[in-house]
Structure 1
Amino acid sequence: MLIVGRFINGICVGICSAQVPVYVAELAPAHKRGLVVGAQQWAITWGILIMFYISYGCSFLKGTALFRVPWALQMIPAIFLFFGIFWMPESPRWLAKQDRWDDCQKILALIHANNNPDDDMVRMELQQLREACDMDRIQSDVSFIELVKPPMLWRLHIGVFVQIWSQLTGINVIMYYITFVFGMAGLSGNNNLVASSINYVINVVVTVPALLYLDKVGRRPILLMGSISLTVWWFLCAGLMGGYGSPAPPGGLNHIAEESWSITGSPAKVVIACSYLVVASFAPSWGPVSWVYPPELFPLRLRGKAVALSTASNWMFNFALSYFTPPAFVNIKWKTYLIFGAFSFAMALHVFFCFPETAGKTLEEVEGLLKENRAPWRAASNKRDLEDRAIESIQAQEKREQEIHVESA
Structure 2
Amino acid sequence: MALFHVQGVPIGYVAIMLAIVASMGGFIFGYDTGQISDLLLMDDFLTSFGQCGTPGDVSTCHFSNVRTGLIVGLLSIGTLIGALLGAPTADFFGRRRAMQLESLVFVVGVIIQITATDQWAQVAVGRLISGLGVGALSAAVPMYQAETAPPQIRGTLTATYQLFITFGILIAYCISIGTRHYKGSKSWQTVVGIGIVWPGILAFGIQFMPESPRWLALHGRMDEAQTSIARVRGVSAKDAANDFVIQKEIEEIRSRLEFERNEEGGWIDCFRPANKQLYRTLLGMALQSLQQLTGANYFFYYGATIFQSVGIEDSYVTQIILGAVNFGCTFLGLYIMERFGRRYPLIIGGLWQSAWLFVFASAGTAKVPQDNPGIGKLMIVSACLFILGYASTWAPGIWILIGETFPTRTRAKQGALATASNWLWNFLLAFFTPFIVNNIKFRYGYIFASCNLLGAVVVYFFLYESSDISLEAVDMMYNDPNCKPWTSRTWAPAGYANRRDLAEQARAAEAHKPLSGATDEHFEKAGSAHSGEKV
What's the counterpart of residue 241 of structure 1? 364
- Range 280-289 or range 323-332, more displaced: 323-332
The reply on whether 1:123 has 2:233 as its aligned counterpart is no
Choose the corresponding residue for 1:95, options 207, 216, 226. 216
The reply on whether 1:34 has 2:155 as its aligned counterpart is yes
Distance in 2 (CA, whole Å) between partners of 1:358 and 1:87 is 29
| Offset at residue 152 of structure 1 (A) | 0.8
Name the SS of the counterpart of 2:345 in structure 1. Answer: helix
Any unmatched runs of 5+ in structure 2?
1-121, 506-517, 527-535
Larger relative contact order (CA 8 Å, sep ≥ 6): 1
Closer, same or farther: CA 74–89 of 1 in aligned 2, 3 Å: same
What's the counterpart of residue 75 of structure 1? 196
Contact 2:292 2:426 in 1 (8 A): yes
Contact 1:220 1:356 in 2 (8 A): yes
What's the counterpart of residue 402 of structure 1? none
- Range 56-65 or range 386-395, more displaced: 386-395
| 1:338-349 alignment, distance < 5 Å | 338-349=446-457
Distance in 2 (CA, whole Å) between partners of 1:311 and 1:156 is 11
Distance in 2 (CA, whole Å) between partners of 1:390 and 1:197 is 55
Distance in 2 (CA, whole Å) between partners of 1:393 and 1:158 is 33
What's the counterpart of residue 441 of structure 2? 333
CA distances 1:335-356 after superposition (whole Å, capped 9, x unpaired): 2111011111111111111111
Distance in 2 (CA, whole Å) between partners of 1:32 and 1:131 is 23
Closer, same or farther: CA 395–310 of 1 in aligned 2, 3 Å: closer
Distance in 2 (CA, whole Å) between partners of 1:50 and 1:396 is 49
What's the counterpart of residue 199 of structure 1? 322
Report the AA paired with residue 162 of structure 1: L
What's the counterpart of residue 417 of structure 2? 309
Contact 2:153 2:338 in 1 (8 A): yes
What's the counterpart of residue 249 of structure 1? none
| Offset at residue 265 of structure 1 (A) | 3.2
Contact 1:123 1:394 in 2 (8 A): no
Distance in 2 (CA, whole Å) between partners of 1:37 and 1:344 is 23
Distance in 1 (CA, whole Å) between partners of 2:187 and 2:197 is 18
Distance in 2 (CA, whole Å) between partners of 1:396 and 1:199 is 50
Report the AA paired with residue 270 of structure 1: L
The reply on whether 1:392 has 2:521 as its aligned counterpart is yes
What's the counterpart of residue 486 of structure 2? 377
Choose the corresponding residue for 1:322, options 421, 427, 430. 430
Percent sequence identity over matched residues? Answer: 32
| Offset at residue 107 of structure 1 (A) | 1.4
Contact 1:112 1:121 in 2 (8 A): no
Contact 2:248 2:524 in 1 (8 A): no
Q: What TM-score do you get using the length of structure 1 for normalisation? A: 0.88
Report the AA paired with residue 129 of structure 1: I
CA distances 1:319-377 after superposition (whole Å, capped 9, x unpaired): 11112222222101232111011111111111111111001011001011110142211
| Offset at residue 381 of structure 1 (A) | 3.0
The reply on whether 1:184 has 2:293 as its aligned counterpart is no
Any unmatched runs of 5+ in structure 1?
247-260, 398-409
Contact 2:336 2:392 in 1 (8 A): no
Report the AA paired with residue 312 of structure 2: L
Distance in 1 (CA, whole Å) between partners of 2:189 and 2:450 is 40
What's the counterpart of residue 213 of structure 1? 336
State the aligned residue count: 379
Choose the corresponding residue for 2:468, options 343, 356, 360. 360
Contact 2:163 2:331 in 1 (8 A): yes
Contact 2:226 2:250 in 1 (8 A): yes
What's the counterpart of residue 260 of structure 2? 136
| Offset at residue 124 of structure 1 (A) | 1.2
Choose the corresponding residue for 1:56, options 169, 177, 186. 177
Distance in 1 (CA, whole Å) between partners of 2:123 and 2:373 is 42
Distance in 2 (CA, whole Å) between partners of 1:2 and 1:324 is 19
| Offset at residue 396 of structure 1 (A) | 6.8
Q: How well do the aligned residues superpose, as a CA RMSD in angstroms? A: 2.0
Closer, same or farther: CA 146–395 of 1 in aligned 2, 3 Å: closer
Contact 1:234 1:337 in 2 (8 A): yes
Contact 1:113 1:122 in 2 (8 A): no
Distance in 2 (CA, whole Å) between partners of 1:123 and 1:337 is 51
Contact 2:295 2:448 in 1 (8 A): yes
Distance in 1 (CA, whole Å) between partners of 2:401 and 2:295 is 19
Distance in 2 (CA, whole Å) between partners of 1:354 and 1:396 is 28
